[in-house]
Structures are given as structure tokens and as C-alpha cells.
Amino acid sequence: MIRLLTPWPAMLVEGDERLLLAADFHLGIEYELAKMGINIPYQTERFMEELLALVREQRPDRVLLLGDIKHGVPITSFQEKREIPQFFKALLEEVGRVDVVRGNHDANIQNLAPEEVEIHPSRGLLLGEGFRVAALHGHAWPYPRLLAADLIVMGHNHPAVQLNTPLGVRITRRAWVRGRPNVERLAGALLEKARVKPEGEVLEAFEREFGEETKAPQMVIMPTFNDLMGGLPVNAETPKSLLGPLFRTGAVEVDDFDVYLLDGTFLGQVGFLRTLA
């Protein structure tokens, strides 16, 4: 049902629909790098070709982009104005539906996307009937109803793993992080966020308040599609937690989440990998 499209940082979910998911494109980062004195050729076309190749191969009904399509905030660069509409247009030629869940870099993305692209708020999107998929970027609190999902997929963290090689060189590689958050703790945090003091059992209180039965969703934190982003090692000493309110508040603990390299290699759990960093 869930397929990591190794070695690519994209995922296919086969539920009621065939969904192809990817996150953190940061199109236009070359412009920011150029301002810092690092000049590299524009990469948007390469990322677009990689994504289009996946779409042609997997034939999804719908492509879900989990935020940070663009890079420049607050200024949208000339590069972004030229390239992002082309990116969406090319994608719409290959797939019927394209959805974007807003990331923290996506202010005004609606001005760069054709009308056919559906843009969703940063608090997330819940899809499907039988197998339900919740999608969000991860910089904002999710809508509580997302806890009714079987699978929660997020971006924003640019997860990577830091490894010490036998040569004494430290390398950082993009990674998938996948696990099952404690649903009671997560529900408790969402209740607290809504300023509801649960009376009695947390999951029952959640259901009463939000009208949704919680599942014990699996959570996947996606690596960046853009390979220029480097990544944030999940096993580094700092920062202490992953980014975003779910992790910062302790609503989701990732110590027992599994870490995979892009090629599918299973490395172990986050807590174990911390001991190696």
C-alpha cells in the first residue's frame, strides 16, 4: 500500500486512489545561493524531469506536493516567477490532479500556480475513505481531524542521517523517517492546543471534541526532493528535537522511528543512530 520509490525521495500510496507524494522542492534556491557567492546552474528543469519520470512510470491519479515548492521568502525571485508556473504546467500535462499543501516557503504560491492546482492550508489535508492519508508540511499544527488517518505524511524537516565513516570523515545523507507516534500523546497535545481539558480518557475526549475517531496512524517524514538542501541530521546532538510544533512540544517522539537511506537501506532507529553521531 505504501511504497518508497527508491532511490527517489518520493512515495506511492495505493489506497482509494494512486497518490504520488513528494516534499520540499525549494525551487529557486540557486538564486539564494548565488547571493551568497555560490553560482550553480539552474536546477528546476532537472527536478522537474525527475518528478515527471516518476509520474510517467507510476501513473498516479494524483500528485501531492507537501510544501516548500518554492524557496524565496519573503521575496519571490525572477527565477521563481519564470520557472514555477512551467513546473506546474508540465506536471498537469502528465497527471489529472495536482495538490499542494502549503509550506512555510509557499506564501503567494497561488500566484505562481495554474488554477487547476489545488492549494491547501498548511494545517493539512485528509484524503480517502478506506485507507486515509493525511498530508501536511509540518511547520504548523495539523487540523485535529488528521488524526483519523491511517498514514500521516510530512515534509519540512529535511531529514538526513549523519554517519562517521571509517576514514574519519563525517557524511550526511538524506533519509526517510518512519514510525508510529503515540496517538494518546498526540491527541492530548491537540486537545491542549484547542484549550480543552480532557475529562477522563484522552482518546474519548478527543472524539467528543473533534467528532473523529483517532486511529494509530503511521507517520512518514519525507526527505527533500531537492538534493541541494543538504538535510538536517535526525541523529545530530543539536537540535534536540525535529522541527515543527508536533516535535518541539513532545507530541511526537521519534526515538523509536525507523531510518532508511534513499536507496532503501534500513539503518536502525533514530535513538540508536544518535549513539553513533
Residues that bind Mn ion (CB under 5 A): 24, 68
Q: Taking the complex as a whole, how short is the minimal distance between the CB of residue 244 and Mn ion, in angstroms?
A: 11
Task: Give whichever of 68 and 99 is closer to Mn ion, judged by the CB atom.
Answer: 68
Contact 66, 10 (CB under 8 A): no
Task: Give whichever of 44 and 214 is closer to Mn ion, judged by the CB atom.
Answer: 44
Task: Give whichever of 191 and 262 is closer to Mn ion, judged by the CB atom.
Answer: 262
Q: Taking the complex as a whole, how short is the minimal distance between the CB of residue 51 and Mn ion, in angstroms?
A: 16
Task: Give whichever of 125 and 191 is closer to Mn ion, judged by the CB atom.
Answer: 125
Q: Taking the complex as a whole, how short is the minimal distance between the CB of residue 229 and Mn ion, in angstroms?
A: 7
Task: Give whichever of 4 and 229 is closer to Mn ion, judged by the CB atom.
Answer: 229
Contact 217, 152 (CB under 8 A): yes
Residue nearest to Mn ion (CB): 68
Task: Give whichever of 24 and 253 is closer to Mn ion, judged by the CB atom.
Answer: 24
- Measure the CA dihedral 29/35/40/42, to 10°: 50
Q: Taking the complex as a whole, how short is the minimal distance between the CB of residue 25 and Mn ion, in angstroms?
A: 9
Q: Taking the complex as a whole, how short is the minimal distance between the CB of residue 202 and Mn ion, in angstroms?
A: 31
Q: Taking the complex as a whole, how short is the minimal distance between the CB of residue 68 and Mn ion, in angstroms?
A: 4
Whose CA is closest to 172, among 187, 183, 160, 180?
160
